[in-house]
A = this chain, B = another copy of it.
Amino acid sequence: MTVGGWSAPETDVMANVGEALDGDRAVLATVVAVEGSAYRRPGAKMVIGDGDGVGAVTAGCLEDEIVALAREVLDCGQPRVERFDLTAGDDVWGLGVGCNGVIDVLLEPLAESYRPVVEAYQSGKDTVVLTVVDGDGTPVERGDRTVVFPAESGASGPCLQDTDWPDELLTALEGPTNRLLSADASDTVSVRYEGDDIDIFVDCVTAPPELVVFGSGRDVAPVARSASEVGFRVTVVTFRGGAATADRFPAADRVVSTSPADLRDVVSFDAETYAVLMTHNFVDDRIALTEVLDAPTEYVGLLGPRKRFEELRSALAEDGHHLTDDELDRVYTPVGLDLGGGTPLHVAQSIVAEVTAVHHDRSPNHLTERAGPIHSRSPVGVEPSEFE
């Protein structure tokens, strides 16, 4: 499901990149560096074809300018880097970015070199995309690209797509790439090559997380939709064939009717798979619970009161399956964050907020608390320079 151009989830942006690769010419715009603060981090993408573009590189204020620049890039066929300095001017933040930052955006004609990234993303694999931002006077040029498949590297370091980049350059990139990979971040790094600096944007493109929702009731639809909006790929699974049709869950990427015995053949579970059990059926929830606990799934949300889980647990124990502490730690029941409200969309909001926080390894506190209580900070009336 596509949710507006500017606010499209990353899954939709990538889908649009894939379509553009198969279709008409398009421009890929990527935030490659941020100094100070900005609405989006390096790696934020926008793809511009004939229309207004899909994706966001700022809070919405520079996108029109990016679209105009993309037309120029299409005309001349050359990648360029545009710097937006939002720290200047009389009207501070008057440009509307709500930040005091400098943003570099790489605009490039979308080329075949990006296809392996999209294909990996869509088949659930992470990549690291190395793109030359500035290579003046060196053997590489702005827009040159190579793609690393870290999951396939084993102990021997990153596995590179065939590339004609000099070995010394690739060796110099290994350290920064691995550091960014462990931080799940993207940034531009400068490496020294034969007396020249080469700026390379190292983009850690993470495959979308998977949400598997067990159930076929009406309450599944808003969960699928909300999760899809925040970038999950959603599979709806039911053990009751007739009830699960794709048109009931238009936001789901897949709707699967299967027998419990065949579940593992049609749905794969890994550590980036999140499961929500909302079958509203004791027998089905019990089967699903057994299956997902047996998989490496870190998150198993179970709809319903705690008492119901205790009954499920007891039923499993009677079958000889005594849940371990590790298994219990993976079960979130009642599912969801404690946000209050009892309508179907409140329930979906609570569930999807929880899955989002778990996926990002966050404790779902108020951000204002993470930053510390405001009034324990500097007393009022101090000079602005103290806030640097």
| Interface set of A (CB-CB < 8 Å, partner B) | 3-4, 6-7, 9-10, 37, 39-41, 44, 56, 59-61, 63, 91-94, 96-100, 217-219, 221-222, 226, 229-231, 278-283, 303-311, 313-314, 317, 322-323, 325, 328-329, 331-350, 352-354, 356-357, 359-368, 370-371, 373-375, 377-378, 380-384, 387-388
**B281, B310, B332, B377: which contacts A377 (Cβ < 8 A)?**
B310
Contacts of A368 in B (CB 8 A): 331-335
Contacts of A97 in B (CB 8 A): 280
Closest to A326 in B: B375
Q: Would you list the 4 A-B pairs with minimal beta carbon distance, nearest first?
A: A340-B360, A60-B218, A98-B280, A7-B344
Please state if A382 and B314 are interface contacts (CB–CB under 8 Å): yes
User: Whole-angstrom distance between the alpha carbons of A145 and B374 in the complex?
Assistant: 49
User: Whole-angstrom distance between the alpha carbons of A329 and B364 in the complex?
Assistant: 19
Contacts of A281 in B (CB 8 A): 91, 93-94, 96, 98
Secondary structure class of chain A's binding surface, majority of residues? loop
23 pairs of residues in contact across A and B, judged by CB atoms under 8 Å = A3-B345, A6-B218, A6-B344, A61-B217, A94-B282, A96-B217, A96-B280, A98-B303, A229-B345, A230-B343, A231-B346, A309-B374, A310-B377, A310-B378, A317-B381, A332-B366, A332-B367, A332-B368, A333-B374, A335-B367, A337-B366, A338-B363, A341-B360
Closest to A280 in B: B98
The listed residue with most B CB atoms (<10 A of its CB), out of A3, A39, A388, is A39
Least distance between A112 CB and chain B CB atoms (Å): 26
Please state if B217 and A59 are interface contacts (CB–CB under 8 Å): yes
Least distance between A310 CB and chain B CB atoms (Å): 4
Copies in the complex: 2
**B328, B356, B377: which contacts A346 (Cβ < 8 A)?**
B356
**B61, B339, B367, B370: which contacts A280 (Cβ < 8 A)?**
B61
Contacts of A226 in B (CB 8 A): 349
Q: A360-B341, A362-B340, A364-B365 are in contact. Are A219 and B59 (CB under 8 A)?
A: yes
Closest to A368 in B: B332
User: Whole-angstrom distance between the alpha carbons of A300 and B346 in the complex?
Assistant: 21
User: Whole-angstrom distance between the alpha carbons of A203 and B211 in the complex?
Assistant: 37
Closest to A387 in B: B310
User: Whole-angstrom distance between the alpha carbons of A345 and B99 in the complex?
Assistant: 19
Please state if B99 and A305 are interface contacts (CB–CB under 8 Å): yes
User: Whole-angstrom distance between the alpha carbons of A348 and B113 in the complex?
Assistant: 33
Please state if B37 and A92 are interface contacts (CB–CB under 8 Å): no
Least distance between A363 CB and chain B CB atoms (Å): 7
Please state if A59 and B362 are interface contacts (CB–CB under 8 Å): no
Contacts of A348 in B (CB 8 A): 7
User: Whole-angstrom distance between the alpha carbons of A223 and B63 in the complex?
Assistant: 19
**B92, B282, B338, B370: which contacts A365 (Cβ < 8 A)?**
B338
User: Whole-angstrom distance between the alpha carbons of A305 and B344 in the complex?
Assistant: 33
Please state if B340 and A357 are interface contacts (CB–CB under 8 Å): yes
User: Whole-angstrom distance between the alpha carbons of A360 and B362 in the complex?
Assistant: 22
Q: A303-B98, A322-B380 are in contact. Are A356 and B341 (CB under 8 A)?
A: yes
User: Whole-angstrom distance between the alpha carbons of A356 and B99 in the complex?
Assistant: 26
Please state if B349 and A60 are interface contacts (CB–CB under 8 Å): no
Contacts of A383 in B (CB 8 A): 314
Closest to A10 in B: B343
Least distance between A264 CB and chain B CB atoms (Å): 25
Closest to A101 in B: B305
Please state if A375 and B329 are interface contacts (CB–CB under 8 Å): yes
Contacts of A342 in B (CB 8 A): 40-41, 44
